[in-house]
Amino acid sequence: MPGDGEGVDRRLFISEVVWIAPGDGEDLVPLRRADDPEAWERLVAADESVVTQVDDDDPGKWGVHFPTSSSTAPWLMRRMIEALDLAPGMAVLEIATGTGYNAALLAEAGAVVTTVEIDARLANEAPWWHWTSPAAPPVDTSSTTSPSSCHYVANA
């Protein structure tokens, strides 16, 4: 089924550093892919949300680490896309690009996606992780198999 995520590799959208809670009620700590590739892989392959940024990318800004971007659990993304009842070529405006994974799932389902992000770093990097990966197939930016555009909106 288009949009089931089978054709979109979530790993390509997740940053090299993710954030985990080592214990119940404990502050988030970074999990670097380079330091523990097996743990990173298990977390990203799981059907649950992954925190990809804390403190607006300024760790320690608020004393404890507060999640400010994540990759939503794949099961929930599938349910949201199913609820949309997408038809091929349908235009979708996504608010909050985040990692870009949801936009890729929408595009895989046949939507023409425009995605908007308030965080400049996420807007500049996240959607392109997949498309610039050596493992990614060539992308025709005029096709409906990829988000048509990503826009940064300054936090006024």
Q: How far apart are CA 88 and CA 37, in angstroms?
A: 37
Profile the chain (156 residues) by mean pLDDT over runs of 10 residues: 66 91 87 98 96 82 84 94 90 85 86 80 62 39 46 53
pLDDT of residue 143: 39
Domain count for the chain, please give it: 2
Flag whether 123 is in a domain: yes
> What is the torsion angle, in degrees rounded to the nearest 10, for the CA atoms of residue 148, residue 8, residue 123 and residue 149?
0
Write the DSSP symbol of residue 4.
S
3-state secondary structure of 32: strand
- Give the model's pLDDT for residue 126: 60
Helix (H, G, I), strand (E, B) or coil at 128: helix
What is the pLDDT at residue 153? 55
Domain boundary among 47, 70, 93: 70
Q: Assess if residue 1 is contained within a domain.
A: no
Q: Are residues 78 and 148 in the same domain?
A: yes
| pTM metric for this prediction | 0.76
Closest among 88, 149, 144, 77 to 115, alpha carbons compared? 149
Asked, for residue 4, whether it belongs to a domain, the answer is: no
- The one-letter amino acid code at 84 reads L
Q: What is the pLDDT of residue 108?
A: 85
Domain-embedded: residue 2:
no
Q: What is the pLDDT of residue 149?
A: 55
Angle, CA 91 vertex, CA 105 and CA 150 arms, to 5°: 65
d(CA 42, CA 32): 13
How much is the pLDDT for 40?
Answer: 98
**Same domain as 65, residue 95:** no
Considering the domain architecture, whether residues 84 and 136 belong to the same structural domain is answered as: yes
Query: What is the domain range of residue 137?
Result: 74-152
Whether 79 and 146 map to the same domain: the answer is: yes
Whether residues 80 and 145 fall in one domain: yes
Is 38 a member of any domain?
A: yes
What pLDDT, on a 0 to 100 scale, did the predictor assign at position 110?
A: 85
- List, in order, residues 6 or more apart from 34 with CB less than 8 Å away: 16
Q: Which of 70, 90, 106 corresponds to the end of one domain?
A: 70
